[in-house]
Structure formats: structure tokens, C-alpha cells
Structure 1
Amino acid sequence: MTRTDSPARTAGTGRLSRSLSGRAHRVVFGVNADAAIDLELPYITVIDEAHLIMLTERQLVDTGAAARLLTEIHELRVTGFAPLRGRPAPRGVYLLYEDHLIDRLGMRVGGVLHTGRSRNDLKATMHHMRLRELVIGALHGLLRLQALLLSRARRFRTVVMPAYSQFQPATPASYGYYLLGVGESLGQDILGLWQACEGLGQCPLGAASGGGTDVAIDPARTAALLGFTTPVSHAGYAVASRDTAVRLLSACVLASLTLSRLCTDLQLWSTHEFGLVGFPDSLVGSSSAMPQKRNPFLLEHIKGGAGALIGAWTAAVANIKNVPFGNSVEVSTEAVASIWPAIDRFTGMTELAVSVVAGAQPCQDAMLRGADEGFTVATAVANRLVAQGVPFRIAHRVTGRLVTELISEGVHKPSTVDICATGQRLGDLLRSEGVATPVDLTGADLDPVAVLAATDFGGGPGPRSFAAAHDRLAAAWRSHTREVAAWSDRLATAETERNEAVRQLGGYT
């Protein structure tokens, strides 16, 4: 038989005689508990299962009471917590949920659920579980994007284009080499996010309100049942800190910068003035007023998302910086409020990035023309002189003078000049610098394709260097993919073990 809410339990905790004022309650908890039900109770009920299993194994709760509680919790979950919806939560959604269990089962059964813990360690544990779900999704998105970058890097490794320095053509590169560089940066972002996940291995449950408990609980058991690798080690830290959440967001912020810079390049290269990259109709939008326009607006959503993540990180750390190192609403509620939507948005950004990277098509003729007309072979020409005994600084100066003269004469492509005449001109320029050295210049020295093929040192785009970098990144990708899969498998194994333990207790089947 269901009982109505007890005024004493609804109004306070024994220390308080009245509940929160209506205005304050609406601001803090909302009109009803529905939003918090969806965000928190799916995790809390799983934690409760593990906690009850441990309490019965430690003989702290009667097996029959635990079975009845587990069955009632399951019934709530399968109905989507319908009995709790539309109701106010004067002391938060957890106590609304606990009061419901007491109403259904009586105080002697429903009232034992919270034995040996606090809302503080419960909330911290819920945060870790919610974070790992979000972060596993983010890691999958990043790994998928990196796999695509590596695949397209290999496909376009010989599509020659200028490498840009300060928005100016610099040296010969390739579109594939550019994508490989983004893949390298993303690999570091994945590594940083994975390292930040280390903090999610420890289960806060058992810390109670921040000072541990004198109840003889087994935190290692609950940690294992929830898929964590280690139990709580310091109760104060477990309750006071949300540093793992901030580190995870920080890693996402850094990865979002990589995505934003990639999108800046693609947006610039897709302009009429550059014309290096094109997008299919499925990845662009039109203008409401200008019929000729094709707007690659998805790139702007990714770039804007990076700004939003930076804002979320700023909000999180600003709420933490002057808070005493103990339990605090500023840390456990306000600081993390911006983190959940930010990480979720980041995963959406990676999905968009997969689409735009897959859809971006290099305009190969324009890319090669840009490498040639940008005089990107100039450094290779200077290096050719160095190989013939000319000091680099002199070689640099005379090559710059040569480029200036050719441009003033209307030469747009150094690959088209007469090799012998150009070699003689370089010799004359060297003699004006007091260096009498015959110049042996070949067509390969002025051909961006040949120059790129020779750039096999210092991590350059040459074929052997490219292959070595690609193999290294692919190996790291496979390693991270296996690690994330093992993490997911561990969580699935813990769920199976928890369900079996519930069944053995006589709970739901």
C-alpha cells in the first residue's frame, strides 16, 4: 500500500522544521523534478544496485529487504520513473526518489538504502559514470576522425600543394601531407583525452560526506560492480574535487582547437580566391538573398563550437578557483554544469568534422599551380647552392634576388624557365656577392613535385618520411582503439556481474 508523503520527511531532515521557500526552490530545483530525473536517476539506480549488493554481502542489510528494494528500483526504472514525474523535489531528486521507496516499502526497508554513504559520494560517483559515458563517445568520434584523416592522407599523398606559412606559400607539400599533420595533432589530442580518463578509474563511493565512514563497507566491491578499477583512497579528495571533469573538458578544448584550425584552412581554401578545395551540395548551404553563393557553413559550426567549449572551461574553473577544499555546491553542481553539454557538443563537432573531411575534394590542378606560382621551390634552390659550397645566408640572399627579378619580368611559374639561363643568372648573382662558384642547376630543382619527393628528412613530405609517420600514427590509432574497446568491455562485464548478483539476491529477473 502506498503512503502519502510524511510531512516530517518532506519538510526537513530532523534538523530543519521547514522546507525551502517556494521561490528559492523554483530557482534551484525547478518546478518539478523531471529534468533531474532524466539526468541523474538512471545512474543513481545502478549505483544503488551495487551498493545494496555490497551491503548484503557485508551483512549490513537483510537479504530480503535488499531483494524488495532492488525489485522496486527496477520497477521504477522500467516505467521511466513515472511515479516521480511532475512532482516537486523540496530536497532534490535523490530524496524524492528515496521517499518514494520508503512510501512503497516502509521505513525499515526503504530507509536502509543510504547506509554507509552520503549524497556527496553518491553524486561524485554519478558524475564519474556520466563522464565516462560521454567521454567514450568522444573518444570514438576522435578515433573515427583520425582514421579518416589517415586514410585520405594516404590517398592524396602525391597531390602537391603549397604549405602555407603566415598565409603565404612556403614550401612544396601535399594535401595528404597536410591531412597527416592534422592527424598527428589529433593523435596528441586523443592521447591527452585518454590520459585524462585515468581519473575515471577510481570510484568515489565510500567517501560518504568527505570523511569516510565507520560502517564496515567494502568500497572495492562496489567499485568493481560499477566497472571502476580502484576504490576510493581519500574521502576528502573524492568529494571536494571535480578535477577529472575539468581535465577531460580541457582535453576536449585542445582537440576542438585542432578541429577549428582545420576548418579555418578548409574554409579559406574553398574561397574563390584560393580555389583549392571543393565541397558537394550535401555539405554547403545557400544564401537567402545571393543566389550564386555556396556556403560551407558546417565549418563555422565547428569553429563556433570550439569557442563554446572554451567558454564552458572558463565557467568551470571560475567556479572552482576560490572555493575551500571540501564539499561545495559551487564545485559539485555549478562548476560541472557547463561540462556535460560541452563534451556532448564536442562529440557532435567530431561528427561534423568527419563529414567535411570526407567530403572535401582537393582541386589538384589548382594546388599544383599554387605550389609553382608561389615559388615554393626557392628554399630547395638555395639548398642546391649550399650543396655546391655556398654559405647558406649568401645562397638565401641570391635566391631571393632571383625570385624578385623573375617576378618583375612576368615569370609566374619557375618550373617553366630556361634551366641553363637561370643557372648562369644565379652564377652572376653569386659573383656579385664575391662568391665564384659554378652553378649546377637541374629541372628537378625548380619542379615542386620533384622537390617534394626529395624532402625525406626532418619529418618532411617525402615518400619514406611520409610512410614512417603514417605507420607510426596508424599503430598508435590501433592501440588507442583497443584500449577504448577494453574499457567498454570492462563496463559490460561489470554490468553482467551486477545483474547476476541481483538475481542471486532474489531481485528482479
Structure 2
Amino acid sequence: MTEDTGRIRKTLDRRARRIVFGDNADRGIDQELPSNVQVDRAHVVMLVERGLLPRASGRRLLAAIDELSAGGYGPLRGREAPRGLYLLYEGWLAETLGEEVGGAIHLGRSRNDINATVLRLRLRPVYHRLVREVLRLVAVLVRRAERYAAVTMPIYTHYQAALPVTYGHYLAGVAVALLRDLEGIEAAAAGLDRCPLGAGAAGGTTVPIDTGRTAELLGFSAGVLHSIDAVASRDLALRLLAAAAVLGVTLSRLASDLQLWSTAEFDLVRFPDELVGSSSMMPQKRNAFLLEHLQGRGGAALGAFTAAATAMHATPFSNSVAVGTEGVKPLWNALDQVAESVLLARLVAAGARPQPERMRRRAVEGFTTATALADRLVMEAGMPFRRAHHRVGEAVREALDGGEPLAAAAGRLLAEHGLEAQAAWTEPAQVAAAAAYGGGPAAESLGRIVAELRAGWTDAARRLRERARAWSEGERALDAGVAGVLAEDAVRPPTDAGRARVPALEEA
């Protein structure tokens, strides 16, 4: 296979070739070539339909491409790619079909717009997996929020017991944050819907191609808008990494809480054997080490964003290897790491077992009803809140000095104002049950939160299904277009094969 481009007569330096393209094409074949082939099939169909490529040539190209794909790209494996995978592949087509046919496929396009399109095609399953994992995690949290809606516990501020809530209320709060993170991921993925194919190297083309048709065949909602932006921009990668980094922060905070609460000193939650590890030296240990993996992997997207943004920073706004290759390189591993973090979070959230009695006792010992008691002095005795705050603080100090519960000291304080202590003012479970305002843990409040979570979950699942359906419809349209070129009377019927399905909330 010649490497003479006409303008360049010599082979790329072997050392540079190994760094840039690898020792052979196998890795690129597995990662990128299936998407390249999908792009080529759509492009050939469009060229034939527009009368820009003879039907006979289109048939031969499509037959060769399909045969190569069906054979696992065997003829290309193990070969060096001196000028990159795409030119190796195109060179094989020219060798196999002759230059008149094999060399005709590149009309009206460039590797620049192909690469930008391949990025979006490769991101589809990655995006689908990430969103689906988040939906499954939210489903687990919502179901457990309902199950543990009456399990009273203290919420901590500054690592100190603060107020009485419920474990279900806490889990619902994490779910609310995760749905918001999911909205950010969906917004970041808006660029998945526009096809860059047809932008060429940066200036479009004088060839009368139909970019709307190739977009349709590839399952995009719209064709290229601006030729320079289409090949210059990889902000899709940056936005996805940024959104995934925010998700990773939420996951790390959940992991930090569960790790702290699962220590013997807290003992608010426990994990079954299948979710903990032992020590190679200390036989008594039960390490919730999965939470540490969750914390570490959750930061992968933040590091990748920094690397990608640094690679893209201050580059010319046109096609750039620093942007389209080096800037995108951190994307794949980072999104994979974050998806795995979400899966780990689902496992530990599903497996964590709250300890109701220990949680209730910590809520009592932590004087978590002090704020509610101050509120009662305001509402029942007409005391200004700051004075009530001070008096209840004194009552807490008395209780600590006397080794008695807050209820006893509260009784004396209330009696000074002609009030009788009530359990609803000093018992954590009753205070939590009465906190119906401000999104508190009371049953009616949590019920509204869960209802909104379920509605948000359903909407997000529907949007994912619609996106996946559009991709599948593109595949069917492409198959039909290819069949129309190969044999006009043998159009392949639509099929539901490959259509992605998102389970219902109760299935997730």
C-alpha cells in the first residue's frame, strides 16, 4: 500500500508513528472503525441517491464494506497505519476495488468531519450506560427512602449531631441531587443530536451533498450548521466531563457519609459480608472499602476535564489535533470510571442496613430536638428567638452537667413559662414527624418529594428511550438505504432489534 500522497513522498518517522498511531491498527479497529463504517455506509447511500456516485460503484463499495465488517476487519488487523486508521481502511478499499471505486468514497468530506461524527457515534453507548446507571441508582434510593421513611436519625452539620430527620429523608435528598446531576448530563449531551458530517476540513464543500440525509441515516436530529464550528469544537467532551465531575462530587459525598456512619464509633449503618473486605493482617477488620473506590473513581472526570480543557486551551478555532485527538483522549476512561462509580454507589446504597435503635439513641444523645424546643418557646411563650436560643443552650448545658436527657432540663425551662413539656417537643421521632415545612422529613413532605422524584425519574427515562429510539431508527433507515442501493426491490424491512430499553422504576 503506497504512502505517497502526492505532496508527501516519504513515510512518517517510525518512532513518531508508534506514539501517534500505535504499533498496529488493531486497537483503533476495535474502538473506532465500526463507527467509521457506519459513517461510510450513510455517505455512500447519500452520494448514490444524489447522483454523485454511480449506483454500480456504490453497490461495490457497500458490499465490500459490509463484507469487511462481517469478517471482523480481519484484512486490516496486525497492519501498521502509517497515516492513521482511516487512510489504512480507505487504502484497503482502493486495493480491493480499484482506485476508481475505492478512491471515490471520500468525495465531499474530510477526516475532520468524519472524526467529529465518529466521536458522537462512539459516545452514544457510553452516554446511554451512564444515564441508565444513574437512573438505577436513583430508583434504589427512592425505594429505600420510602422503606426507611420512619427511621429517625440525626443529620450532621460540621460532623456534629444537628437535627432529627429520617434515613429515608436523607436518601431522598441524595436522589434529588442525583436527578439534578442527571439533568446536567442530559444538557451537556445536547451536542450528540447534531451531525458534523459534511463540514469537510473546515470550509464545507462545493459538492452538492445532502447533509440532512446523512444525519437522518445516522440517527441525528439535524445536520451540520456551521463548517468551522463542526470540526473545531469538542465542547461536547468538555461539557460531558464537567457534568460527570459534578456527579462524581455527589457520589463522593454519599460515600463519605456512609463510610463515617458505618464505623464502630457511629454504627448507624452496617454492610453485609458481600460488600466489605477484610485485612491481610488484622483478623477483626470489616472494611467498607468499596466506598473508598467510589470516592477515588468519582474524581476521575474532574481530572479528565482538567486534562482535556488544558489540551484545548488557546488552540486556534479550527480543526486541531490537540483538540480533536489529545483533548478527547481522557474522555473515555473517565466516563467509564464514573459509570462504574454509580454502579458501586447503587450496590452500597442497596446493601446498607440502617440501625434504627442506634440512630434514635444518637439523635437523643446529640440533643437534636433543641431547635424545636426553642421554636416552641417562641410560639407558645412569645419569647424572641435569640433569647429562646440562649435559654435552650443553657438547658442543654445543664443536661450535660447533670448527665440527664434534654427532656428533663426542658421540663424545668418550660415550667418557668407555665408550659408543660410534651414529647412532640423533645422526642426526635416526633419532632421529625412534625417537620412538614421547608422540605422537612414529615411524612406528607417526604411524600411530595418522592412523588416529584418519581415523576422526574419517569421523564428522564422517557427522554433516554426517545434518544435511543432515534438512534435505532437511524440504523433502520441506514439499512433500508443500503438495501435500496444494493437492490431497489429488496429494501430491508424495519426491525426493533437493538432498540435500547430502560426498565421501569420498580424494575431498575
TM over 0.5: yes
Contact 1:159–1:364 (Cα < 8 Å) also in 2: yes
Q: Which runs of 5+ in 2 are unaligned?
A: 493-508
Question: Which residue matches 1:441?
Answer: 421
Question: How many angstroms does 1:77 deviate by?
Answer: 0.9
Question: How many angstroms does 1:74 deviate by?
Answer: 0.9
Question: How many angstroms does 1:184 deviate by?
Answer: 0.4
Question: Which residue matches 2:127?
Answer: 135
Is 1:470 the counterpart of 2:463 in the alignment?
A: no
Partners of 2:60 and 2:428 in 1: how far apart?
Answer: 76
Question: How many angstroms does 1:151 deviate by?
Answer: 0.5
Question: Which residue matches 1:80?
Answer: 72
Q: Which runs of 5+ in 1 are unaligned?
A: 429-436
Contact 2:298–2:337 (Cα < 8 Å) also in 1: no
Partners of 1:139 and 1:286 in 2: how far apart?
Answer: 33
- Aligned partner of 1:391: which letter? P
Give deviations 1:338-394, integer Å, cap 9, x for gaps: 001111111111111111111010011111111111100000000000102000000
Question: How many angstroms does 1:296 deviate by?
Answer: 1.0
Partners of 1:225 and 1:205 in 2: how far apart?
Answer: 11
Question: How many angstroms does 1:22 deviate by?
Answer: 1.1
Question: Which residue matches 1:46?
Answer: 38
Partners of 1:281 and 1:465 in 2: how far apart?
Answer: 35
Match runs of 1:20-419 below 5 Å: 20-388=12-380, 389-411=382-404, 413-415=405-407, 417=408
Contact 2:414–2:421 (Cα < 8 Å) also in 1: no
Partners of 1:467 and 1:269 in 2: how far apart?
Answer: 25
Name which of structure 1's ranges 24-33 and 156-165 shifts more when overlaid on structure 2: 24-33
- Aligned partner of 2:270: which letter? G
- 3-state DSSP class of the match of 1:178? helix
Shift >2 Å, 4+ stretches: 421-428, 437-441
Contact 1:50–1:225 (Cα < 8 Å) also in 2: yes
Give deviations 1:194-247, integer Å, cap 9, x for gaps: 111111110000100011000000000000110100100001001001001110
Give deviations 1:312-358, integer Å, cap 9, x for gaps: 11100011111111111100000100001111111111111111111
Give deviations 1:255-301, integer Å, cap 9, x for gaps: 11111100000000000100001001111111100010011111111
Question: Which residue matches 2:500?
Answer: none
The TM-score, its normalising length taken from structure 2, stands at 0.94
Contact 1:131–1:245 (Cα < 8 Å) also in 2: no
Question: How many angstroms does 1:425 deviate by?
Answer: 3.3
- 3-state DSSP class of the match of 2:328? helix
- Aligned partner of 1:25: which letter? R
Question: Which residue matches 1:14?
Answer: 6
- 3-state DSSP class of the match of 1:337? coil
- 3-state DSSP class of the match of 1:505? helix
Question: How many angstroms does 1:426 deviate by?
Answer: 4.5
Contact 1:143–1:481 (Cα < 8 Å) also in 2: yes
Question: How many angstroms does 1:427 deviate by?
Answer: 5.2
Contact 1:399–1:426 (Cα < 8 Å) also in 2: no
Partners of 2:265 and 2:301 in 1: how far apart?
Answer: 31
Partners of 2:451 and 2:330 in 1: how far apart?
Answer: 38
Name which of structure 1's ranges 13-22 and 233-242 shifts more when overlaid on structure 2: 13-22
Contact 1:385–1:439 (Cα < 8 Å) also in 2: no
Contact 1:398–1:426 (Cα < 8 Å) also in 2: no
Contact 2:41–2:62 (Cα < 8 Å) also in 1: yes
Question: How many angstroms does 1:307 deviate by?
Answer: 2.2
The TM-score, its normalising length taken from structure 1, stands at 0.94
Question: How many angstroms does 1:75 deviate by?
Answer: 1.1
Question: Which residue matches 1:500?
Answer: 480
- 3-state DSSP class of the match of 2:165? strand
- Aligned partner of 1:124: which letter? A
Partners of 2:421 and 2:309 in 1: how far apart?
Answer: 59
Is 1:424 the counterpart of 2:412 in the alignment?
A: yes
Aligned-CA RMSD value: 1.3
Name which of structure 1's ranges 498-507 and 295-304 shifts more when overlaid on structure 2: 498-507
Give deviations 1:431-450, integer Å, cap 9, x for gaps: xxxxxx43343122110011
- Aligned partner of 2:111: which letter? R
Give aligned-pair identity as a percent. Answer: 47
Give deviations 1:7-48, integer Å, cap 9, x for gaps: 3xx2x3211111111111111111111111111101000010
Give deviations 1:413-469, integer Å, cap 9, x for gaps: 335x3xxx74333455xxxxxxxx433431221100110111000111111111111
- 3-state DSSP class of the match of 1:216? coil
Contact 1:424–1:439 (Cα < 8 Å) also in 2: no
Contact 2:152–2:428 (Cα < 8 Å) also in 1: yes
Question: Which residue matches 1:490?
Answer: 470
- Aligned partner of 2:340: which letter? G
Question: Which residue matches 1:431?
Answer: none
Give deviations 1:467-500, integer Å, cap 9, x for gaps: 1111011101001101101111111111111111
How many residues matched? 488
- 3-state DSSP class of the match of 2:486? coil
Partners of 2:278 and 2:294 in 1: how far apart?
Answer: 18
